[in-house]
């Protein structure tokens, strides 16, 4: 791990560290980015890699920001997760391996996927102002 990434991880809040480094989950309906409707790009809070465009975000009602598609096919990686006595597919940042959330096969067209992502794992960058909103 690079020194800059190590330094960035040291600066994370407790919830950001819990989610991204310990594969935790923030409580539903508590994330700062859940109701964000601005146009821009969601990035990894650890390494700043782009993850999702705002136009792929939708309200799934699940309590976490949901997207139907990653920004590029290789932006995230998929890992079978058998914790909690069930099978799910975990999503991690493909650049730094930070835990982001899970993907489910019940999303809207065109992909039919629901990327259920913790706000604490992301930073939103507003397309107009360049202002960052930390999840």
Per-residue tens of pLDDT for the chain, all 135 residues: 667 777 777 889 999 999 999 999 999 999 999 999 999 999 999 999 999 999 999 999 999 999 999 999 999 999 999 988 999 999 999 999 999 999 999 999 999 999 999 999 999 999 999 999 998
DSSP character at residue 120: G
Instruction: Give the CATH number of the domain where residue 86 resides.
Output: 2.170.150.20
The total number of structural domains in the chain stands at: 1
The whole-number pLDDT of residue 7 equals 73
Domain, as residue range, for 53: 2-134
The whole-number pLDDT of residue 79 equals 97
CA distance 87 to 102: 11
CA distance 64 to 85: 21
Closest by CA to 15, choosing from 5, 25, 29, is 25
| pTM > 0.75: yes or no | yes
Q: Within 13 A of 42's CA, how many CA atoms are on the CB side?
A: 32
Q: Dihedral, CA atoms, 92, 96, 98, 102, nearest 10 degrees?
A: -10
Return the active site residues.
Answer: 116
Annotated binding residues for Zn(2+): 44, 47, 93, 96
The whole-number pLDDT of residue 8 equals 77
Q: Dihedral, CA atoms, 19, 99, 43, 96, nearest 10 degrees?
A: 120
């Amino acid at each position: 791990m690079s020194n800059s990434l190590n330094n960035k991880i040291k600066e994370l809040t407790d919830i950001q560290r819990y989610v991204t480094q310990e594969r935790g989950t923030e409580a539903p309906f508590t994330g700062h980015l859940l109701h964000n409707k601005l146009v821009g790009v969601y990035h990894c809070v650890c390494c700043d890699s782009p993850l999702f465009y705002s136009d792929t975000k939708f309200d799934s009602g699940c309590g976490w920001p949901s997207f139907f598609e990653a920004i590029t096919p290789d932006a995230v990686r998929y890992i079978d997760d058998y914790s909690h006595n069930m099978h799910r597919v975990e999503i991690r940042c493909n650049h730094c391996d930070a835990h982001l959330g899970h993907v489910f096969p019940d999303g809207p067209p065109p992909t039919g996927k629901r990327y259920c992502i913790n706000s604490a794992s992301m930073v939103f960058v507003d397309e107009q102002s360049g202002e960052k909103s930390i999840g």
